Amino acid sequence: MATHYEASSRVETTFPFECACGYRGEGSAVGEGWSQSQSHGLFADPTAESRALDDAEGKAWADAISNVELAPCPSCGARDGAKWRAWIRSRFLPSLGWGVLAGVLGLIGLFLMRQEMDSWPLVAGAVSFALVTVGVFGWQVARKRTQSALIAIHPRP
């Protein structure tokens, strides 16, 4: 019997902010992370529980730091293009993973419903794949844009 652990974490931190225009400041950010893990065995597994918590904390820190790094500059209003591209690359593959899962489920689901071996299950799979990939990815980018825009950045003394 496996036990399922879930953990969420929230951190508040200040992180240095630098812009190409020369502005130097500090951003106060909140980050959130969520994780899960599984124990394999009959008894409660404290390492599985702390693994989930460690992972959630790591994600919360990464979320907070990226919120500051991706924030618009309070002086010139620009966002760091290179950091945005790196962040978008890091989010794209996981979104693709959810898309592939949705595509497979869509394909199998329509085939099971109709029991016919034509091209419609493939169409359903392709449409589910595209919608979920674009949806998950777009939601994350929109969320990050909104969150990073709300970061309070103060000039460094």
Q: Which residues contact 84 (CB under 8 A, 6 or more apart)?
A: 70
Helices (H), ranges, 20-80: 46-69
State the number of binding residues for Zn ion (CB under 5 A). Answer: 6
Residues 76, 113, 123, 152: which binds Zn ion (CB under 5 A)?
76
Biggest distance spanned by C-alpha atoms of the chain: 70
Residue 73 lies near Zn ion (rule: CB under 5 A): yes
What is the residue whose two structure tokens read 């124990």? Answer: 39
Helix (H, G, I), strand (E, B) or coil at 74: coil
Nearer to Zn ion, 73 or 110 (CB): 73
The smaller minimum CB distance to Zn ion, of residues 114 and 156, is found at 156
Among 8, 36, 75, 140, binds Zn ion (CB under 5 A): 75
| Residue nearer to Zn ion on the CB measure, 12 or 18 | 18
CB of 22 to Zn ion, least distance (A): 7
21 is a site residue for Zn ion (CB under 5 A): yes
Helix 120-149 to helix 46-69 angle (10° resolution) is 70
